[in-house]
Homo-oligomer: A and B are copies of this chain.
Amino acid sequence: MSKQLKSKPRDDDYRMPGEFEDHKQCWMLWPQRTDNWRLGAKPAQRAFADVAHTIAKFEPVTMCVSKEQYGNAREMLADNIRVIEVSNDDAWMRDCGPTFLKGPNGQVRGVDWKFNAWGGLVDGLYFPWDQDDRIARKVCEIENVDVFKIEDFVLEGGSIHVDGEGTCIVTEECLLSEGRNPHLDKGQIEQTLKDYLNVEKVIWIKEGIYNDETNGHVDNILCFARPGEVLLAWTDDESDPQYSRSLSALKILESEMDAKGRAIKVHKLHIPTPILITKEESEGVDAVDGTLPRNEGDRQAASYINFYIANGGIVFPIFNDPIYDKLAEETLKSVFPNREIVGVFAREIILGGGNIHCITQQQPK
């Protein structure tokens, strides 16, 4: 039983916890669309399975999967992964799944945002997206979790990061994009975030990672390690188009205080060497009118920031990068000394347009 609530989380004293707080489990969605994932999605499925099995070392994992892929997913995933049938349009649980909140007595509820495939008819990445838009409610109903339903407000889970203590960070590139909520101005959008995440302060950085097809989701460029500390995707190469984006974010973070009045400590996490789609990779994807093409030579929005914080662990993407994989691991070890740091080879995930954080969604304990 899962009630649809008309109230706002702020009214009921529910807040979004930081990802670094304790989880009950992690939710994922199984990839299958052959116009986004090469070679019938088989390499991506292997990568998603690797991510699931790695996270399952730290906390329970539930994989949602379509009717068509149920048998295959159940076979490719170990018995300790819970597999549940949920129809979908693609595989990004961070973005179409519920945002889980915690109440004053530790109860959990979900927020069911409107989902429109990162821009709807303006610049959405595929059509239709009706199955994805139902996933948040379905997940909450499986868990018997009540739902704060918000009408007429488009948001993806990857476009927000919170510290669990009243601060939220977003990008203007995404939240002010024409394909999301053009009927609302910046102040109204900020108020909606305050009402539905129960935060006091929203920090707006300008842009996300270069060439990110999500209109610059914040979860690919920075995240909270804990209250008062942020990891920021970085490059020292001033000729890289990412440089000015990261520098701008750094300046804003250094000039802002969080909701508790603290200055924000920033840890730089160097991006990998640019990852370009190969001819073979491009040719493995079905060309379908209306879906974002995967062209040879396109630079992928690869970033080590796109990791998942599990109970006692960090599961982060690696790219067989001879320099930066190792550097990322060291940085993460120094920032998270009490968590085990595990890399998962994630080229097949970034080829689909996101990474480990994008394909996961934590449910708090």
Contact = CB atoms under 8 A, between A and B. Distances in A.
If over half of A's interface residues share one DSSP class (helix, strand or loop), that class is named, otherwise mixed; here it is mixed
Interface in A64-96: 66-67, 70-71, 79-87
Nearest to A74: B137
- Of A85, A87, A138, chain B has the most CB atoms within 10 Å of the CB of A85
Nearest to A80: B1
Contacts of A365: none
A85 B82 contact: no
A131 B67 CA distance: 9
Contact of A1 (B4, B60, B67): B60
Nearest to A135: B85
A347 interface: no
A226 to B, nearest CB: 29
A141 interface: yes
Nearest to A130: B71
Interface residues of A, number: 24
Interface in A106-133: 131
A42 interface: no
A85 B87 contact: yes
Contacts of A131: 67
A142 interface: yes
Given A67-B67, A87-B67, A144 B4 contact: no
A3 interface: yes
9 contacts: A1-B82, A2-B82, A66-B67, A67-B67, A67-B87, A67-B131, A70-B138, A84-B138, A85-B87
Contact of A85 (B2, B71, B79, B138): B138
A134 interface: yes
A71 B130 CA distance: 11
B1 A84 contact: no
Interface in A1-30: 1-4
A257 to B, nearest CB: 42
A83 B141 contact: yes
A3 B82 CA distance: 9
A14 to B, nearest CB: 19
